Structure 1
């Protein structure tokens, strides 16, 4: 910044001002700019400190001058301005037309793409994914190349290859290096690790955080869990614009992220992680592979690849269609195969003795690999979406295990030896269609003192499980099913000890079984930091402690069938942070009223299967932030909610399987809804009409606890 300051001063004076002269150059520049009107453009500003240094050089009265700051750091963008209207965020990417215009300006002297290069230009732009940074850089590189189809096709093919190995991409490498170098040290490993995921992969935040923690990238911070620290890391990487957020929760938190293909190419050039393509092309020395990612159809043949498997610390698979695989590679790896696939896979695991992370999501295994229990240093084990049915008692040997992910498998029972894994933080099971949870021995469940995430567990007449849960005071997410009315006292006793619980899902044994959750010692000892609550089962009334949950953002109440004389919404309407409310068979009354000045932050409301309901009313200034209203299978409701025109923020009205009279009334008011710019969507779960709108099944087997 000092050099930039001196360069600006040289534009005012013929002689160069030495920085060590008596007068501070910032003061001199301020004096020279006094009473002048100017346009100042600062490109590639990476830190607030740089901006603070420079702003001291500017006079107080700017006389209508303009300052434009170009940065990849969102903190820098927001630092000098008081209103977001002055921030123009380009991180979401350009439209194709905008991208094409920018590309042509950079790549062609006259700004016009020749017809013979149009198709190749489109393919290159697709690789850039709307990033102005990538488009400008690639266009600049191509401007120096012959305008021939072969030359451009060659560059397109190298956009996902090794940067340093390909001279054509050295310019990109030089540009990314400062961005990478500017990252704080604790973020560099986290950033490079993203290369372990394949191209165009949407990375779920929960999975990413658990992997980072298992790899040892996350530094403990007082007062926060390592997963919370990992979330801070992800937000910092997104702020740097090297990582893109791809989906968000209703609370604004990032649910998944991704990296562009060009960023991934840069990551792979750093050789922090290795993919199968790099190995087969012999771009990495086989004895230096530490973190390896490969398609699940290839991973079991690694023993024939020539890789020193003993040096691998991380082995991850991913699903890739057979059409995307090089069959010659598979044949080479298979060699003269005499053993079956499971035997070859076991051979791979026996050789990788020092593995810390084994992520076999989607690998078509039917049995738990017996050789896994010999990986005694393992911290992370995922068999998600495999076909395994049982977990062996010898799982107890994995004493360092922190994550065991068995979601979408066929496992229905866990051995009691699982409770010997005292370092276990995340035990994720079930969510397989038709499955209602897993049985788990209550014997030593309380020994899982590190557990943060436990779902989905069947209680099944065993109150010892509920009592043992009271010892797991560090739980953040808990999912239970097959709970009976008489379990209520023990369940509440345990819940009130879980001060840090943020997500709680519970289902009764059937739609006619009551959930009795009104046995807290007082409403103030309930888990006050709950953000998500799913209650599936009959309720005599909404539990008295729910109005105290000021952090609650998402509620689902299903099969409650609260009686008409009970003020069913009163317990929910004043929750200050409630953003999403789903009510399924919640109420047996004929009239449902949303009172004035209630549900002030609610953004999504779903009403489903209110069989007796014939009137829904929205009073003035109720739900002022509502954006989406879903009404489904309410057979007695013939008309739109009274007062719907008062929902000034409403963007979508979705009806599903509603009676003909309701549809007719909806059509009658279509002009008014269109004038309010409300998009009406018709959907059906049971009829023949197909719709792009999909409704979530809220049965326990389809619960998702952000994992």
Structure 2
């Protein structure tokens, strides 16, 4: 019972005050008295409203109280033993009791669980893991989470990883997904990337150099490393040397399905074993996925509970069936049909309900089945960029055209439908709130692979096969990372239409006879064959290359071209204006030819690129009337001005306002003042300004954009060191990034930025002021501080404390690698 647990912890606190007070330090006596008062109020609340309190909530309070009691008793006991052994002054060498953690454990359990998590996890599982990570031990410790596939291990770890207490406690957090056939170099890159330390040069480094980079990032810092999906004990032998024990209280969280792997990494402490959901937990999860905030209709409740029972507590099975029913008709007849079929297809084997997962796939609308199967073409645990996925679906012609909608918009609707059905997991979001990257669960991916094999939808190269491997039975081929390349040659038939190579080291196979090729993705360097002009069906090209062959302009069906390179500017031919099917052109530092130029050879007529939506990154972009006419529907534009010696009139930048469909603009080295008759199109929703100078007048022009939701200022100088905003500016702004700017002060009123949700400061060591009025913006949900001054950190924390006093504690402060000054739990 929660009542007994609360009485027990209260008695422990009274015992400490009356008999063990000599072991208390600093202001712990006052904090204990305050906690006793809070517990008394909570006890009264439980007694007065017992009939309205669910058993679920009572259990949360009980479990949190038990763990809090253990924290207090363990700390006092350690002090007693330490003093007895050393006979030293009792006030020396003692660590303070984490009363902030205790209050968060008990009273944080009263907060309703946020929606949007894929699985229900026991609040006790969550609190127990959190307590083990935060316990008073300076030694490096490994905390393992073990459980079968689909039971919610990664979901639990994700919740803990993003918990506000965990974020504040650790200086650095990093996450890497390991998988079956792990690659040490890829894992190191993943860790550095999640820390925000990854640079382009690191992709070319050896594993040894990457290890040195990782060591420097972790040295003398309290870090939390998550190693997800570990399958082999050998992995720990390979990586344990990377994580030095600096006695700073660092932790490693290992997630695995195998008991022996968890025990091998940490034989001293038993792993946390995930359990299946109870009937009540399963029903809560099911209703959340099917109905959201609406209650289950009475006529469907009995049938729904039968469906849930057939899932036997496996969260993944529940959310997939829930996703299916959330889109289906809510009639007793259909629900009975699902209940009968789920029951007949349930088979408790090691595959863990694979037939239930198959049932979800079989009942997908036809137009979504191919999109879903396509997810299996990517490597295991691959973070899939949504924009890339949408472009591939369109190029593969598996998106059905809809009148008055672009193919990209239809593909995005397909994607969101699969997300709502819980078949695709959200991994990362963009600054504008849209989904940036996604992935699929391992069990769901296995389903994709099985069904794709039945349909001969694509072929995946066999990692272990040596010698010659001939592919002749499918139109799509996927070459995975870590493929065994020794004496291995891949022969492709002329019927192959899509080739996706995800291995940096595997060269492209012989392609001289592949005239039907539609999609080519090459992770590493691509040497264009002489026959490239024969790829007349090619719609999607993504590769790394030094140059573009002149014959590529003959590919009249090309929709997307993505070229990654580290060379100087790339001069495009005038023929680029003769490719009417182009939708997305993503090239690094290109020189765009003037369409009004008159050449000396051939036909110089140009077309209107009516389908072009993305164009980036253009060097010294000349926005002439001729260019504007050729790209009337451009949505995303990236431009870079470098070594310019003439004014903006030469580049016709006043014409930017005529790009009436432009939604996103990235402008690097903007060496021109905005305040002199330069206007942006009112359609602009996202603006990124890099390496330039701004006046207050310029900021007013930006602030007056009626639809601007995202503003990023990077390495930007302000003519004045003080930024004063006005009430009529930035009315729709939701995301603001200030990175390495020269501002010293910021003056803002609480009526400004009325829709701001997220504020990010990076490398702002000159920024010596943080306006308290920002904290009074009711929509603000998070402030992120990366490499900021200690004063900014203190002011931000103080502001957060003020909001808590006013019982408006929805604001989260995330601090990464900033200069923090520790003033204890009560702040400065």
CA distance in structure 1 between the aligned counterparts of 2:113 and 2:497, rounded to whole angstroms:
43
Distance in 2 (CA, whole Å) between partners of 1:652 and 1:87 is: 18
Match of 1:376 in 2: 515
Aligned residue among 450, 453, 457 for 1:273: 453
Trace 1:231-380 onto structure 2 (pairs within 5 A). 231-270=412-451, 272-273=452-453, 289-294=456-461, 301=466, 303-304=468-469, 309-320=471-482, 337=487, 341=488, 344-345=489-490, 348-349=491-492, 352-365=493-506, 369=509, 371-380=510-519
Which of 646, 659, 676 in structure 2 is aligned with 1:527?
Answer: 659
Q: Equivalent of 2:118, from 86, 92, 111?
A: 92
Tell me if 1:569 matches 2:699.
yes
From the superposition, tell whether residues 560 and 465 of structure 1 become closer, same or farther in structure 2 (CA, over 3 Å).
farther
Q: Is the 8 A contact 2:458 2:476 kept in 1?
A: yes
Q: How many pairs were matched up?
A: 508
Question: Which residue is 1:475 aligned to?
Answer: 612
**Superposed, which structure 2 residues align to 1:211-226 within 5 Å?**
211-226=392-407
CA deviation profile, 1:656-693 (whole Å, cap 9, x unmatched): 455566567667767436656444444459x999xxxx
Measured against aligned partners, the alpha-carbon deviations of 1:313-371 in whole angstroms (never above 9, x if no partner) come to 11112325xxxx8xxxx5xx96xx4xxx5xx24xx23xx221111001224146x65x2
Q: How far off is 1:165 after superposition?
A: 13
How far did residue 572 of structure 1 move? Answer: 2.0
Query: Whole-Å Cα distance in 1 between the matches of residues 447 and 583 of structure 2?
Result: 35
Q: Look up the SS of the partner of 1:479 in the other structure.
A: strand
CA distance in 2, matches of 1:314, 1:502: 31
Quick check: 1:548 aligned with 2:690?
A: no
CA–CA distance in 2 between the matches of 1:489 and 1:203?
34
Return closer, same or farther for 1:383/1:427 CA change in 2, 3 Å cut-off. Answer: same
Contact 1:412 1:439 in 2 (8 A): no
RMSD: 4.3
Alignment partner for residue 377 of structure 2, among 181, 190, 196? 196
User: Which residue of structure 2 aligns with residue 639 of structure 1?
Assistant: 769
Which protein is richer in helix relative to its size? 2
Which blocks of at least 5 consecutive residues in structure 2 are unaligned? 1-111, 127-143, 157-281, 287-306, 316-343, 599-604, 822-828
Structure 1 residue 533 displacement after superposition: 0.7
The TM-score, its normalising length taken from structure 2, stands at 0.53
Map Cα deviations across residues 140-181 of structure 1 (whole Å, 9 max, x no partner).
Answer: 799xxxxxxxxxxxxxxxxxxxx9998837994554455334
Task: Give 3-state SS (helix, strand or coil) of 1:446's partner.
Answer: helix
Aligned to 2:690: 558
Q: Residue by residue, what CA displacement relative to the aligned partner does 1:486-507 show, whole Å, maximum 9, x if unpaired?
A: x5353x6413542221110111
Give 3-state SS (helix, strand or coil) of 1:209's partner: helix
Residue 125 of structure 1 pairs with residue 151 of structure 2: yes
Q: Show CA shifts across 1:365-401 (max 9, x none).
A: 46x65x22421101000112x134x434431111100
User: Residue 575 of structure 2: which of 444, 458, 477 is its match?
Assistant: 444
Return closer, same or farther for 1:529/1:624 CA change in 2, 3 Å cut-off: same
- Partner of 2:525 in structure 1? 387
Question: Structure 1's 212 and 99: CA in aligned 2 closer, same or farther, altered over 3 A?
Answer: farther
Pairing partner for 1:672 from 799, 802, 826: 802
Q: Secondary structure of 1:93's partner?
A: coil
Matches within 5 A, 1:582-621: 582-584=712-714, 585-611=716-742, 613-621=743-751
- Residue 402 in structure 1 maps to residue 539 in structure 2: yes
Query: How many angstroms apart in 2 are the aligned matches of 1:536 and 1:645?
Result: 31
Q: Give the secondary-structure state (helix, strand or coil) at the position aligned to 2:760.
A: strand
Residue of structure 1 in register with 2:635 after alignment: 502
- Aligned residue for 1:266, secondary structure, equals helix
1:445–1:465 Cα contact (<8 Å) kept: no
TM-score by length of 1: 0.62
What is the CA distance between 1:558 and its match in structure 2? Answer: 1.7
Q: 1:417 Cα deviation (Å)?
A: 0.9
Equivalent pair of 1:652/1:681 in contact (CA under 8 Å): yes
**Native 8 Å contact 2:772 2:799 kept in 1:** no
Specify whether residues 214 and 355 from structure 1 end up closer, same or farther in structure 2 by C-alpha distance, changes over 3 A only: farther
Contact 1:414–1:440 (CA<8 Å) still a contact in 2? no
- 1:106 aligns with none
Question: 1 CA distance for matches of 2:668 and 2:515?
Answer: 40
Structure 1 residues 189 and 463, CA gap change in structure 2 (3 angstroms): closer
Output the CA distance in 1 between the equivalents of 2:522 and 2:555.
Answer: 17
Are 2:312 and 1:139 aligned? yes
Q: Does the C-alpha gap of structure 1 residues 374 and 99 become closer, same or farther in structure 2, counting only changes over 3 Å? A: farther
* Alignment partners' CA distance in 2, 1:232 and 1:642: 41
Q: Aligned in 2, Cα 1:246/1:168: closer, same or farther, shift over 3 Å?
A: same
Report the secondary structure of 1:555's partner residue.
Answer: strand
In structure 2, distance between residues paired with 1:634 and 1:516:
33
Secondary structure of 1:311's counterpart equals coil
Name the CA shift for 1:514/1:454 in 2 (closer, same or farther; >3 Å): farther
Instruction: Give per-residue Cα distances to partners, 1:253-311, cap 9 Å, x unaligned.
Output: 333333333333433443x237xxxxxxxxxxxxx85511247x558x4734xxx6222
**CA deviation after TM superposition for structure 1 residue 443, in Å:** 3.7
Matching of residue 578 in structure 1 with residue 708 in structure 2: yes
Q: 1:517 to 1:404 in 2, by over 3 A?
A: farther
In structure 2, C-alpha distance between the alignment counterparts of 1:514 and 1:454, rounded to whole Å? 27
Gaps of 5+ in 1: 1-85, 101-117, 143-162, 275-287, 690-707
Deviation at 1:404, TM superposition (A): 0.5
